């Protein structure tokens, strides 16, 4: 009986690892049907690096957080089991994902540039684009959580951008994002977005708002430039 209890406790400790590892493997299998094994493994690892940035930042903030969970063709997320104490902490956690993901894509890019690997260049392009899309200024994407430190009303600007992308590049993922962002847009439209948050949640010094605004804009511009440049280099490698 004691051995069974110890085994159960050990299994419980491995639960988060099994959840993350298991859903990663499922995602690799799913993507492999369309893109092949090597690309699928690299792509899932890039998503993992992105989520690891969120996870480590949340841990550093002292928040209880669940291990990353993957869903094929949707992406992955970490479960924050506690509400961040203010918008600054939330923005920092949100920004950490795209920053880590950008670093991962840069590693692929520099190795691809030196080795001439079309596979790694394709992964670099996907990594830059993945993190750029995540910076769309709508909640619950990372971009929406970052710009909220300036004002959640910016989500109303991000919504038409998302709608334009959905019309010009229709995809189930974009449609899902649109559905997920509707409650946030409605709360901003009605002016009720503060009601479920602690008092003063968005009251941050102007210098803090400017810092995060500049970081958001700089990262978005960098990712857009890298995406365009890598796309051209990838086309050259394939010819």
Q: Write out pLDDT tens, residues 204-238.
A: 999 999 999 999 999 999 999 999 999 888 877 76
Q: What is the pTM of this model?
A: 0.87
Say whether pLDDT at 87 is over 80.
yes
CA distance 132 to 216: 10
Nearest Cα residue to 88 out of 215, 196, 221: 215
Q: What is the pLDDT of residue 5?
A: 33
Say whether pLDDT at 195 is over 80.
no
State CA 66 to chain mean position distance.
15
Write the CB contacts of 13 (distance below 8 Å, at least 6 apart in sequence). Answer: none
What is the torsional sign of CA 27, 158, 225, 220?
A: negative
How does residue 166 score in pLDDT terms, banded at 50, 70 and 90? confident
Across 3-12, 68-77, 106-115, 169-178, which has the greatest mean pLDDT? 106-115
Rg of the chain on CA atoms, in Å:
19
- Asked if 42 contacts 121 with a C-beta cutoff of 8 angstroms, the reply is no
Break the chain down into helix, strand, coil percent, rounded to 5: 75, 5, 20
Nearest Cα residue to 47 out of 17, 16, 80, 23: 23
Q: What is the pLDDT of residue 15?
A: 54
Q: What is the pLDDT of residue 2?
A: 39
Q: What is the pLDDT of residue 8?
A: 34
Better-scored residue on pLDDT, 21 or 112 = 112
- Asked if 133 contacts 144 with a C-beta cutoff of 8 angstroms, the reply is no
CA distance 68 to 79: 7
Nearest Cα residue to 142 out of 182, 109, 95: 95
Provide the terminal-to-terminal Cα distance of the chain, rounded to the nearest Å.
65
Residues assigned a catalytic role: 51
Q: What is the pLDDT of residue 106?
A: 97
Overall average pLDDT of the 130-149 stretch = 93
Q: What is the pLDDT of residue 141?
A: 92
How does residue 99 score in pLDDT terms, banded at 50, 70 and 90? very high
Bond from prior residue into 140 cis (ω within 30 degrees of 0): yes
Q: What is the pLDDT of residue 81?
A: 77
Each domain of the chain, given as residue ranges in start order, spans: 11-238
Q: What is the pLDDT of residue 120?
A: 94
């Amino acid at each position: 009986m004691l051995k069974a209890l110890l085994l159960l406790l050990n299994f419980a400790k491995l639960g988060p690892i099994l959840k993350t590892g298991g859903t990663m493997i499922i995602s690799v299998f799913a993507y492999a049907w369309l893109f092949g094994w090597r690309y699928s493994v690299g792509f899932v690892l890039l998503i993992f690096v992105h989520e690891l940035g969120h996870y480590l930042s949340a841990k550093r903030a002292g928040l209880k957080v669940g291990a990353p969970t993957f869903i094929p063709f949707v992406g992955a997320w970490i479960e924050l089991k506690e509400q961040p104490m203010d918008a600054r902490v939330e923005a920092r956690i949100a920004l950490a994902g795209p920053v880590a993901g950008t670093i991962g894509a840069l590693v692929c890019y520099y190795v691809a540039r030196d080795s001439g690997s079309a596979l790694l260049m394709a992964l670099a392009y996907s990594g830059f684009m993945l993190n750029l899309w995540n910076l769309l200024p709508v909640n619950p994407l990372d971009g929406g959580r970052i710009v909220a430190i300036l004002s959640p009303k910016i989500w109303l600007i991000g919504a038409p951008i998302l709608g334009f992308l959905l019309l010009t590049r229709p995809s189930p993922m974009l449609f899902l994002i649109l559905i997920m962002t509707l409650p946030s847009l409605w709360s901003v439209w009605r002016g009720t977005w503060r009601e479920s948050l602690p008092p003063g949640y968005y009251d941050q010094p102007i210098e803090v708002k400017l810092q995060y605004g500049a970081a958001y804009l700089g990262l978005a511009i960098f990712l857009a430039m890298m995406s365009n440049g890598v796309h051209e280099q990838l086309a050259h490698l394939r010819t």
